[in-house]
């Protein structure tokens, strides 16, 4: 068996989380030179989830191993293609609201105070 025939195929993983606590993982074997778009089509997630609109980048983002990428990106062996759903709430706003709701008595620097100590120490 020649070395060229061994590397002619790529092992790719496609990950998608369409809802909180739901993860879909698809293992694929694709020819060398395949792109992210081809991997998504081969995995069947575009057919299974018609709301995935890769042309509208404001809604869904693509990544390979946690780094933002484009549908035309050429994949390498053992790459993991990830689809990121849009955020419903800005994380900064959510954290601020959580902090206000629980109050200063149980959060951050103010959680454990020594008896008689000043606030924040």
C-alpha span between 26 and 11 (Å, rounded): 11
Just give the CATH number of 3-84.
Answer: 3.10.20.90
Q: Tell me the mean pLDDT in the region 75-99.
A: 87
Does the pLDDT of residue 13 top 70, yes or no?
yes
Break the chain into its structural domains and give their ranges.
Answer: 3-84
The pTM for the full model equals: 0.66
Q: What is the pLDDT of residue 39?
A: 92
Higher-confidence position of 58 and 82: 82
Closest CA to 36 of 16, 19, 17, 51: 16
E strand or H helix that includes residue 40: helix 36-43
Q: What is the pLDDT of residue 74?
A: 93
Q: Tell me the mean pLDDT in the region 97-107.
A: 70
Residue 48 three-state SS: helix
Positive or negative: CA dihedral 67, 70, 73, 75:
positive
Which of the listed ranges 4-13, 31-40, 98-107 does the model predict with the highest average pLDDT? Answer: 31-40
């Amino acid at each position: 068996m020649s070395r060229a025939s061994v590397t002619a195929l790529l092992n790719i993983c496609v990950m998608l989380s369409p809802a909180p606590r739901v993860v879909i993982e698809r293992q694929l074997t694709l020819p060398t030179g395949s792109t992210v778009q081809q991997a998504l089509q081969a995995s069947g997630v575009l057919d299974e989830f018609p709301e995935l609109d890769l042309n509208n980048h404001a809604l869904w983002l693509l990544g390979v191993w946690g780094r933002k990428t484009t549908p035309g990106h050429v994949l390498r062996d053992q790459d993991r293609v990830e689809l990121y759903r849009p955020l419903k709430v800005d994380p900064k706003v959510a954290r601020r609201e959580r902090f206000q709701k629980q109050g200063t008595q149980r959060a951050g620097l103010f959680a454990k105070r020594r008896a008689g100590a000043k606030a924040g120490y």
